[in-house]
Structure 1
């Protein structure tokens, strides 16, 4: 901020110069006027002396005229070059008063309408924060300086959630909704913050927020995950499985949260089965032209002793005649087998290459200890089948991946 105030001070000096220069010029003009008056007085005194001498008979008329002419020449020489006296309409006190008031008034206006806090904040944000607390403090100051910034409010709310401050996050997300509108993602974030701030207790307000979010966007990820958590905590394991499976369908294939989400589905399935229940596959209603392939993947008895529970299992569908890369894929582990999965256009690896774009596909399941989807140790393949097939397929991993 030092360079800013130095620049402001320099500009202030320039402004003051426009007010003080006329005052200084006025003083010089006054000095010239005083000197001229003194010369006139001296001339008049000299003429009076000459007149007195003439009256006494010391000077003749000719000498009198000569002396007066000489005094007049001296007066003219002394006053030559002097400016014509100018009358000031403003007077001297007003410019001086203005020179004193301009800095005070300028500083007051800047402190009221200026943005010194934003300038300082921008300079601070140019450097990376060293700690999480420093980042939080910066975001708080940014929100204080720009209370109508939806982006700043949103990031502050997410930061509070990361610091396990859900009550503070809920207040911030409410402000974000007021600024940015009731967007589905913001509704989900607010519902999540309120849920944890309420001690993981569900209430009608949270239910209304998630319902509104999913009504506007059925794929809103935060609401789906939160509903799954609430169902799991309430021992409604089948609902938790359904919500989390819906969430898996909308997450990118390389999303870092997929393994944790799949682990949650497995735990919910185990608890449901331990309580005497049976995991149900929710009937999926495919949109017009959308492909959904159901497949049950098993491991042959001969391979059970040769694999490890943590080995990756890639289940994918590829075109029988077309590009070799998978069209849709899911990643599990050997510990998840046997498992029933569904491949659809939502699992597409590339938006322009979907299952529904090819009439015939092949199902593949590969075990890779190194976690490589293109190369592994064991594999299972199906025969080519129509992509419109609705019957569940069975796939057994039983052959070396050569």
Structure 2
């Protein structure tokens, strides 16, 4: 099957060549009576060509058999997403693969897909603070950094299971900081410091707290 991108470009080329030929023909005839509206008859061809080319280039043409990742992201990450999709489809009960795929979606900014994958993982694996926090984060970015009821509910459930869940607290702290609620952000970061979680970068947390405090002055 012909590549739709080349098909679009071919149609565009054909349209422009036809426009030029008609212009030359009218000029050679010295025709000044025929209205200039003749070229509008080719507008549908131009639009079709441009649409096909753009549709193909953005990776939406027939969804590329639903196998291709968003081509606006890094090609290595796109290849990883395709690989994980196929692996997950072959092992639909493997929650580890789902987790890897969801993380890859998040890295690629494909938050809608990340939420869908994490929901599947939640159904198979059950609730945990970490997983609920990941769901809240993906939904938060999917919704353009807005707190909608779904993401708020996941935050509440995550903190009910673990009040010091790192992912959830960092998400809340970052949102507070970006919205200039610096005291609130400091509270979340300080709670993480007090939790003595060895997996957290204490120096980075201390710097974040100092930065937020400087903005309160």
TMscore range, shorter length:
0.5 to 0.7
Q: What is the alpha-carbon distance in structure 1 between the residues aligned to residue 216 and residue 144 of structure 2?
A: 24
CA distance change for structure 1 residues 251 and 153 in 2, over 3 Å: closer, same or farther?
farther
Tell me the alpha carbon deviations over residues 146-184 of structure 1, each in whole angstroms, 9 at most, x when there is no partner: 112111111111111122222221111111111111211
Task: Tell me whether 1:264 sits opposite 2:208 in the alignment.
Answer: yes
Partner of 2:121: 176
**Rg bigger for which structure?**
1
- Residue pair 1:185, 1:213 contacting (<8 A) in 2 also: yes
Q: What is the alpha-carbon distance in structure 2 between the residues aligned to residue 146 and residue 139 of structure 1?
A: 10
Gaps of 5+ in 2: 1-74
- Residue pair 1:221, 1:250 contacting (<8 A) in 2 also: no
CA distance change for structure 1 residues 226 and 172 in 2, over 3 Å: closer, same or farther?
same
Shift of 1:238: 0.9
Q: What is the alpha-carbon distance in structure 1 between the residues aligned to residue 129 and residue 91 of structure 2?
A: 23
- Residue pair 1:202, 1:230 contacting (<8 A) in 2 also: no
Match of 2:101 among 133, 151, 156: 156
Tell me the alpha carbon deviations over residues 185-243 of structure 1, each in whole angstroms, 9 at most, x when there is no partner: 11000000011111111223222211111111122111111111122223221111010
Partner of 1:141: 86
Gaps of 5+ in 1: 1-129, 274-402
Task: Tell me whether 1:250 sits opposite 2:163 in the alignment.
Answer: no
Select the structure that is richer in helix: 2
Higher RCO structure, 1 or 2 (CA under 8 Å, sep 6+):
2
Tell me the alpha carbon deviations over residues 126-161 of structure 1, each in whole angstroms, 9 at most, x when there is no partner: xxxx93333222111111111121111111111111
* Counterparts of residues 371-386 of structure 1 (less than 5 Å): none
Q: What is the alpha-carbon distance in structure 2 between the residues aligned to residue 250 and residue 179 of structure 1?
A: 29
Q: What is the alpha-carbon distance in structure 1 between the residues aligned to residue 104 and residue 196 of structure 2?
A: 22
CA distance change for structure 1 residues 168 and 251 in 2, over 3 Å: closer, same or farther?
farther
TM-score (norm 2): 0.60
Q: What is the alpha-carbon distance in structure 1 between the residues aligned to residue 178 and residue 136 of structure 2?
A: 16
Task: Tell me whether 1:196 sits opposite 2:176 in the alignment.
Answer: no
How many pairs align?
143
CA RMSD, aligned part only? Answer: 2.0
Tell me the alpha carbon deviations over residues 241-288 of structure 1, each in whole angstroms, 9 at most, x when there is no partner: 010111233364574x44433332222112222xxxxxxxxxxxxxxx
